[in-house]
Amino acid sequence: MNQDQLKQLVGRAALDYVPAGQILGVGTGSTVDCFIDALAASGIQIPGAVSSSERSTQRLAKHGIKVLDAAEVTRLAVYIDGADEIDGRGFMVKGGGAALTREKIVADLADQFVCIADASKLVQTLGAFPLPVEIIPMAAAQLTRRFAEIGGKAQLRGGVVTDNGGHILDVTGLSITDPLAFENDVNQWPGVVTVGVFAHHKASVCLLGGADGVKTLKF
């Protein structure tokens, strides 16, 4: 199976976690696109979804799935989203699709984070994938220097403006051995909107698609 087929496989597997009759949190990315398509085809009835991006909102709406504002809900049982990297403890790097801030906001509303990913996303240590950081544009130069101080090389993602009007720095050269401390630390830097380490909002479950099918990792 190629990567696209694995994404479709885990997208379908995630249907088992959809709480019928309840509002669902929906992430962003190509794996989530597969999930949204599978959800629409499944016939599972939900009253609506809280979406983490304009991209997912459009796809949900295209399928006739009602999209609710985050302010309309106080709690979600389940949030389903992809990841750029996930480690053996459920800590993740996210934001390859530039939706990390809204993803963290929707994840914060949810009791359970179901990560759907192909097996290439499972890593020993976070950091090989360039770490996305949403920033206030004015802070780009100073934040680039701050990342350099901890061994990271930050590059502005050209031509990208997030759904929130922010910019994205992609940071290479990091080895994130303590994701909780790293997230705490970088979140304090002025100009950082959201760092793409999801440690405080880690996965509860990961459905990992590989050659042998879907493996369920619980954290």
Ligand X SMILES: O=C(CO)[C@H](O)[C@H](O)COP(=O)(O)O
Please identify which residue in the block is written with the tokens 């963290």: 104
Helical axes 30-42 vs 54-62, angle rounded to 10°:
20
3-class SS of residue 184? helix
Does residue 81 belong to the site contacting ligand X (CB under 6 A)? yes
Does residue 90 belong to the site contacting ligand X (CB under 6 A)? no
Q: Is 191 annotated as a binding residue?
A: no
Of the pair 118, 143, the CB lying nearest ligand X is at 118
Residue among 58, 104, 47, 60 at smallest CA distance from 81: 104
Does residue 27 belong to the site contacting ligand X (CB under 6 A)? yes
Of the pair 142, 219, the CB lying nearest ligand X is at 219
CA distance 209 to 93: 18
Q: Which of 12, 59, 94, 167 binds ligand X (CB under 6 A)?
A: 94
Q: Is 94 annotated as a binding residue?
A: yes
Q: How far is the CB of 206 from ligand X (least distance, A)?
A: 12
CA distance 24 to 39: 11
CA 19 to chain centre: 20
Mark whether 103 is an active-site residue. Answer: yes
Q: How far is the CB of 145 from ligand X (least distance, A)?
A: 25
Q: How far is the CB of 93 from ligand X (least distance, A)?
A: 8
Report how many residues bind ligand X under the rule CB under 6 A: 17
Of the pair 20, 123, the CB lying nearest ligand X is at 123
Does residue 28 belong to the site contacting ligand X (CB under 6 A)? yes
Bridge partners of 159? none
Q: Is 69 annotated as a binding residue?
A: no
Q: Which residues contact 141 (CB under 8 A, 6 or more apart)?
A: none
Count CB neighbours of 140 within 10 A: 15
CA distance 96 to 132: 7
Q: Which of 100, 192, 195, 206 binds ligand X (CB under 6 A)?
A: 100
Single out the catalytic residue among 54, 72, 85, 103. Answer: 103
* Of 93-101, 105-113, 138-146, 211-219: span binding ligand X (CB under 6 A): 93-101
Residue 215's alpha-carbon distances to 20, 30, 111, 176, 196, in angstroms, are: 23, 19, 21, 25, 24
Binding site members: 28-31, 81-84, 94-97, 121
Q: Which residues are catalytic?
A: 103
Binding site members for substrate: 28-31, 81-84, 94-97, 121
Residues that bind ligand X (CB under 6 A): 27-31, 81-84, 94-100, 103
